[in-house]
Amino acid sequence: MEVVKTKSRLQQLLINRGGNPSVGFVPTMGALHKGHLSLVEAASEENDVVVVSIFVNPTQFNDKKDLERYPRDLDSDLKLLKTVKCDIVFSPEADEMYPEPDNRIFDFGHLEKVMEGKHRPGHFNGVAQIVSKLFDAVKSSKAYFGLKDFQQLAVIKALVKKMKLEVEIVPCPIIREFDGLAMSSRNRLLTVDQRNEAALIFATLNKARNLIHHKNVQELTEWVTETINKSSMLDVEYFEIVDNENLLPVNNWDEPSTKVGCIAVFCGGVRLIDNIVF
């Protein structure tokens, strides 16, 4: 496994491989966990070469304090990546990815205006900036993203289509802790008590899946929010049931689409997201 800091060195390593190998790419912001490793394993099963990027992208944080406290531990990340088939780690500094300000503005329409986009203005524009830069640097055949960031996945698919990029986006299942909490780099910021209480998020979503024959969409939305908010440690920012393709709100269960319940919850000062397919 080789660790590189520059795009030129990354591209030279890929050229040196020869024979036009297929490249699988896993973009991350570090603080890796088993969820990330599952993406790397999926990439290694389908490609000759696996590249993992580790870069905490400043342009997708609309809260500077959130950026400052985002967990970083490169040494630990590299140790974890040695346990799976990772060929190249691309870990650039900010000035390598942003030698000058990126003033590009992307328009994803409705996709960027709801849920995460509504509560984190500018977030998806920052995501599009860095992902497009990384795709250009790695030039992978496939890129792997976890379904936990459901809305982000929809935006990245739209980005690929808009920019006519030749990369296949591969969605991968949510990996959960033993009690159902979706694995996240932010989980390590929770206290022991908060971590235990955070399990209520998935437990509630799981129960909600069994209530669709007893409650309409509005009733279920209110039930999920009220159930989680009963905890003094949890505060629901939003819970919305949407169409999995266009993220438009679902009004009733009879609509001919796959429906996804997306949620964001504050646990103390830590913001956790999750989703479940109905």
Active site residues: 36
- Of 262, 245, 238, 243, give the one whose Cα is nearest residue 253: 243
Amino acid at 180: G
Which tokens sit at 218?
Answer: 């509005």
User: What is the phi-psi region of residue 98: left when phi exceeds 0, alpha when psi lies from -120 to 50, beta otherwise?
Assistant: beta
- Of 35, 28, 234, 238, give the one whose Cα is nearest residue 148: 35
Cα 214–Cα 219–Cα 223 angle in degrees, nearest 5: 95
- Of 169, 151, 3, give the one whose Cα is nearest residue 75: 3
Cite the DSSP H helix spans in 115-191: 116-119, 123-138, 150-163
